[in-house]
Structure 1
Amino acid sequence: MAETLQSLIAAEALQPVDPLVTDFARAIIAPFGETARAVIFYGSCLREAQLDGLMLDFYVIVSDYAAAYRAANKAGWMARANALIPPNVFPAAHGTLAAKYAVLSEADLARACSMQAGDVSVWARFAQPVRIVWSADTAAEARALDALCAAPVTLLRHAAPVADTASPDPLHIWRTGFTRTYGAELRAERGDRPDKVVDFAPDHYAAVGAAIAREVPDLAAMPRAEAERRWARLRARGKRLTVARLAKASFTFAGGIDYLAWKINRHAGTQITIRPWQRKWPLVAAVVLVPKLLKSGAVK
């Protein structure tokens, strides 16, 4: 009997991870108390066996922004900023590991993985294999899994109408989707990154794609012209939001400008060096840096 989308996503997301990662997640959510609902581990570090020296990526899912920031004794404006332009991003360290974590409410998680999302940032990442490394209870785990099931459906609904139906590659629709999402944000990664994402777990994408095809028969129902308009809006909004989130991170993310330089140097092969004044005025530095990177092609 063919597996359902729910069972496939649950089998992937609920796999155990390195205990160091689980311990790290517990340390991150501790200040949020009972408002913490789940922690999702995602990104390129998920594919690495050696984590020292890397920057892990987490999403911390909370019940409510105001309550979460009160519990963590963080400034009230952070809750308002998180609601206005989600998510907020913070740095963290635990033992020998370093990470950044994004804070998102359960309601925003569900919306950001659905067709109602205004940008690709969450569903593009959660359409890939991820892990739920902690959850408050079975209800929190179930809500996170529902969002993780919605994310690949959202990606394929957007990708199917614009994919080359004559392509012999059975994973072409996934490659199309990830190529389009990478183009809908300011990204430093090289042009072959979408292919590498798919090639890391081809069996996963094949099985999930088959399950979605069975369970969502109208996957390509959106007319191509409408799909192209949606992608155009996602690109325009996504690039604006990238800059806005970067500006916001200059207030929430100590050392954020150094992380930005490290990330771009790692993925684009550049040699960006951050100067003392840029650390002192990270918002101004970001505003100056982004246009230069766009002009040079390091960020697209």
Structure 2
Amino acid sequence: MTIFGPNDTLCAFILDEWTKDVPKAVVDAAEDIARRYGDSVEGVLFYGSCLRTGEIEEKILDFYVIVKSYRDAYSGLFLAAANKILPPNVFYHEMDVAGITIRSKYAVLSREDLHKRSLPTCLNVSVWARFCQPCKLLLSKNEETTRQIAGDVGQTVLTMLSKTLPQVQPGAGSREVWVAAFENTYASELRSERSGKGLEIYLLDQDRYDRLSPIAFDILGHSIDPVELKHQPARWPVVKNRLGWFARRINGKLVSFLRLIKASMTFDGGIDYLAWKIKRHSGVEIEIKDWMRRHQIIAGLTLFWSSRKKGAFK
């Protein structure tokens, strides 16, 4: 399988995005989280709806804490092993900033796993589906680390699009490709999103994706000029691509389920958070009882099946 390395133009695009400011409370939260992991922290990636909108009150910030290794990040073997076997580990954090409670959800991922999971050889979509979208690197260890992580983020863009192009019509433009890409990746996770989410995500940052697409298309050899389109793609690559997405859906749903169960052990208030998340994205109301908070693994299984029956997961 060909792995397209990000070129200087793509890295420059990512690095330019990272020059934009974020609210001080976001940096404060990232710094407080990073202190838990000491010198193992290589950088903190901020992403998600709060990055796009700039709204943080009554919201939950989303971070990925990138660490040198899991053994360096944790004092105990259990969390290090859990992070290695089924990355990432997910935790909850909150702090008071100027009288406002800032809540965050953060995942811990090693530099090695960030790199491996940005490549097209990675079956699971979670890393390259998230970081092909806007993100912001905070608290980078040094300039070299910044460029390396920018390279991995650039690679997520190429992976996302290279896995989508065989499914779209020759000459498809930015909108068609990105919407198809997001629809595919949302279908490959246990998401509680309504249909049409792919178009919604694209429209939220349309200008950004339309500026990014020509750079990525050039690297991938995708033309939108009808004059250059001499033939339809061969049938076997299209079939192979569809089989690949079928495998990603199976992998993604299984891994997402296992991560939910693991999060119930590592995430303070994890059961309550999962219920809130499901309601926010699907409208499905989940009642959390006291016994669920005491037995979170069993509760995680119960919550999964009950919410699935109500249509929260696809």
> Could you state the TM-score of these two structures normalised by the residue count of structure 2?
0.89
Counterpart of 1:231 in structure 2 is 245
Identity of aligned residues (%): 36
Tell me, in whole angstroms, the C-alpha distance in 2 between the residues paired with 1:129 and 1:241.
Answer: 24
Tell me, in whole angstroms, the C-alpha distance in 1 between the residues paired with 2:59 and 2:36.
Answer: 24
Tell me, in whole angstroms, the C-alpha distance in 1 between the residues paired with 2:47 and 2:174.
Answer: 25
| Structure 1, 45-54 or 158-167: larger mean CA deviation | 158-167
Match of 2:210 among 206, 215, 238: 206
Counterpart of 2:118 in structure 1 is 113
Counterpart of 2:3 in structure 1 is none
Distance verdict in 2 for CA 1:83–1:14, change over 3 Å = farther
User: Is the 8 Å Cα contact of residues 106 and 143 (structure 1) preserved in structure 2?
Assistant: no
Counterpart of 1:42 in structure 2 is 47
What SS does the corresponding residue of 1:90 show, helix, strand or coil? strand
User: Is the 8 Å Cα contact of residues 56 and 102 (structure 2) preserved in structure 1?
Assistant: yes
Gaps of 5+ in 2: 1-7, 224-232
Counterpart of 2:163 in structure 1 is 158
1:13 deviates by 2.8
| Structure 1, 275-284 or 256-265: larger mean CA deviation | 275-284
Counterpart of 2:184 in structure 1 is 180
User: Is the 8 Å Cα contact of residues 125 and 252 (structure 2) preserved in structure 1?
Assistant: yes
Tell me, in whole angstroms, the C-alpha distance in 2 between the residues paired with 1:90 and 1:18.
Answer: 22
User: Is the 8 Å Cα contact of residues 82 and 88 (structure 1) preserved in structure 2?
Assistant: yes
Tell me, in whole angstroms, the C-alpha distance in 2 between the residues paired with 1:216 and 1:176.
Answer: 17
What SS does the corresponding residue of 2:257 show, helix, strand or coil? helix
Match of 1:271 among 285, 291, 296: 285
| Structure 1, 286-295 or 143-152: larger mean CA deviation | 286-295
Matched, 1:32 2:69: no
Matched, 1:284 2:298: yes
1:166 deviates by 7.3
Q: Following superposition of structure 1 onto structure 2, how do residues 1-80 of structure 1 map, counting pairs within 5 Å?
A: 4-70=9-75, 75-80=76-81
C-alpha offsets along residues 26-73 of structure 1, whole Å, 9 cap, x if unaligned? 110112111100100011121223311111110000001001113xxx
Distance verdict in 2 for CA 1:61–1:170, change over 3 Å = closer
C-alpha offsets along residues 118-164 of structure 1, whole Å, 9 cap, x if unaligned? 20111101010111122111122112111110001000011101124
Give the letter for the 1:263 counterpart: K
Tell me, in whole angstroms, the C-alpha distance in 2 between the residues paired with 1:150 and 1:288.
Answer: 37
User: Is the 8 Å Cα contact of residues 45 and 137 (structure 2) preserved in structure 1?
Assistant: yes
Gaps of 5+ in 1: none
1:212 deviates by 0.8
C-alpha offsets along residues 93-114 of structure 1, whole Å, 9 cap, x if unaligned? 1211001110000010011111
C-alpha offsets along residues 257-295 of structure 1, whole Å, 9 cap, x if unaligned? 100000010110122121111111121111112123223
CA RMSD of aligned residues (A): 1.8
1:296 deviates by 2.5
Tell me, in whole angstroms, the C-alpha distance in 2 between the residues paired with 1:155 and 1:50.
Answer: 27
What SS does the corresponding residue of 1:122 show, helix, strand or coil? helix
> Could you state the TM-score of these two structures normalised by the residue count of structure 1?
0.93
What SS does the corresponding residue of 1:115 show, helix, strand or coil? coil
